[in-house]
């Protein structure tokens, strides 16, 4: 599949081992939720769509979901129904819902044809400036022509098309710097420590991806192994945040020295989201980040608003389910479905 993607997907940078790690070697991979290929009568593969099975906790019950992504159809076959056939087959599976973290217009149209919709609440990214001058220098350096090496994508350099005014500091935007919060501390954590705390951290959520240790460690391992991709470069940090000794949130992000660090996940109980975000900002700044960016998840709205985070449209995510109550829940801050739950390797 990697050969098909390299030939026909602009900017494709994932190698075959990473593609296999995402789609085939995942501990949650299930035989009745497979990735699919389209094959001609001669046996030649002309299309592919990737499927990642996910286990989700919804109102206390365990349900299955699918993240669909990394699809491609040969250009001269796109005039037919090949893409629609692949996506339609995925959407008709036994899962409770299907989502994609980002789609092109043609794929989004196919989702709508089969009853899906654009997931507007997850279409924006946010950015906070930590060291604005250093950030601008990294943008200029990253945009310079290079010989014999891949250049970072524009979105990796500038996650949102604008300058966050809170970067001008406390004197002008005092309320954008609410911390430090009394009794709040952070600590590096592995998958086992995080999984142990998930039920308590998601107590006020109705829907969340129910990671077990094997799956979460698998995702961390992929990020660490392939973090050298130019548009995904950085050092992975995973941390639990506590208030007066009690866990109140956890986050994972890729720290980029002098550049825009990328948040892959942040979960916190609603009343503690601002404190968890503050600990993340402090850690990112301490480790050399010039800016911090992530997807504007619904449960982070109040904390991001308080910090005057700059938001901008970043992608066209889609979602499909036949359960209207489930669809409504996914659009609220009672749900947590983050980048580490889906297409962790896109920017």
DSSP-derived secondary structure for 261-313: EEEEEEEE-GGGHHHHHHHHHHHHHHTTBSEEEEE--GGGHHHHHHTT-EEEE
The pLDDT, as a whole number, for residue 70 is 81
**Kind of pairing, strands 61-73 and 260-268?**
unpaired
The pLDDT, as a whole number, for residue 345 is 77
Separation CA 182–CA 279 (nearest Å): 11
Separation CA 180–CA 241 (nearest Å): 13
The pLDDT, as a whole number, for residue 120 is 95
The pLDDT, as a whole number, for residue 79 is 62
Which helix or strand (DSSP H or E) is residue 215 part of?
Answer: helix 213-225
Find the radius of gyration of the CA atoms of the chain.
20
Domains of the chain: 2-122 (3.40.630.30), 124-314 (3.40.630.170)
Number of neighbours of residue 189 by Cβ within 10 angstroms: 20
Please compute, for residue 241, the number of CA atoms within 13 A of its CA located in the half-sphere on the CB side: 27
N- to C-terminal Cα separation, the chain: 21
To 5 degrees, how large is the angle CA 233–CA 318–CA 235? 15
Separation CA 347–CA 125 (nearest Å): 10
The pLDDT, as a whole number, for residue 40 is 86
- The H helix count followed by the E strand count for the chain is 11, 15
Averages of pLDDT over runs of 10 residues in the chain (347 residues) are 54 68 90 91 85 97 94 73 91 97 90 95 94 86 64 77 84 81 96 97 96 96 75 87 97 94 94 95 95 95 93 94 97 95 80
Q: Is the Cα dihedral 307, 177, 268, 290 positive or negative?
A: positive
Instruction: Give pTM, 2 decimals.
Output: 0.91
DSSP-derived secondary structure for 93-155: SS-SEEEES---HHHHHHHHHTT-EE-GGGSEEEEEESSHHHHHHHHHHHHS--SSSPPPPHH
Cα→Cα distances 101→20, 57, 121, 146, Å: 19, 19, 11, 30
The pLDDT, as a whole number, for residue 91 is 96
Separation CA 136–CA 260 (nearest Å): 10
Q: Which residues pair with 126 in a beta bridge?
A: 294, 311
Which helix or strand (DSSP H or E) is residue 207 part of?
Answer: strand 207-209
């Amino acid at each position: 599949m990697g050969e098909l993607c390299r030939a026909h997907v602009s900017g494709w940078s994932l190698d075959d081992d990473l593609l296999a790690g995402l789609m085939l070697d995942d501990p949650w991979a299930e035989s009745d939720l497979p990735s699919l290929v389209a094959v001609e009568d001669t046996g030649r593969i002309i299309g592919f769509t990737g499927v990642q099975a996910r286990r989700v906790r919804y109102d206390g019950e365990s349900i299955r979901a699918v993240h669909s992504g990394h699809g491609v159809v040969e250009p001269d076959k796109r005039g037919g129904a090949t893409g629609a056939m692949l996506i339609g087959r995925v959407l008709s599976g036994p899962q409770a819902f299907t989502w994609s973290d980002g789609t092109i217009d043609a794929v989004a149209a196919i989702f709508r044809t089969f009853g899906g919709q654009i997931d507007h609440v997850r279409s924006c990214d946010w950015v906070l400036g930590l060291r604005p001058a250093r950030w601008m220098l990294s943008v200029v350096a990253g945009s310079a022509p290079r010989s014999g090496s891949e250049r970072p994508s524009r979105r990796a350099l500038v996650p949102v098309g604008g300058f966050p005014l809170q970067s001008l500091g406390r004197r002008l935007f005092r309320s954008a710097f609410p911390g430090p919060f009394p009794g709040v501390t952070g600590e590096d954590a592995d998958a086992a420590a995080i999984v142990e705390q998930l039920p308590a951290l998601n107590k006020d959520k109705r829907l969340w991806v129910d990671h077990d240790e094997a799956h979460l460690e698998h995702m961390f391992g992929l990020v660490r192994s392939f973090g050298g991709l130019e548009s995904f470069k950085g050092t992975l940090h995973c941390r639990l945040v506590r208030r007066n000794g009690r866990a109140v949130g956890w986050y994972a992000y890729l720290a980029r020295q002098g550049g825009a660090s990328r948040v892959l996940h942040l979960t916190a109980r609603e009343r503690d989201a601002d404190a968890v975000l503050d600990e993340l900002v402090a850690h990112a700044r301490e480790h050399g980040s010039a800016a911090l960016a992530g997807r504007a998840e619904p449960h982070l709205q109040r904390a991001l608003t308080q910090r005057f985070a700059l938001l901008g449209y970043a992608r066209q995510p889609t979602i499909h389910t036949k359960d209207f109550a489930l669809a409504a829940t996914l659009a609220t801050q009672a749900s947590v479905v983050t980048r580490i739950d889906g297409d962790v390797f896109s920017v």
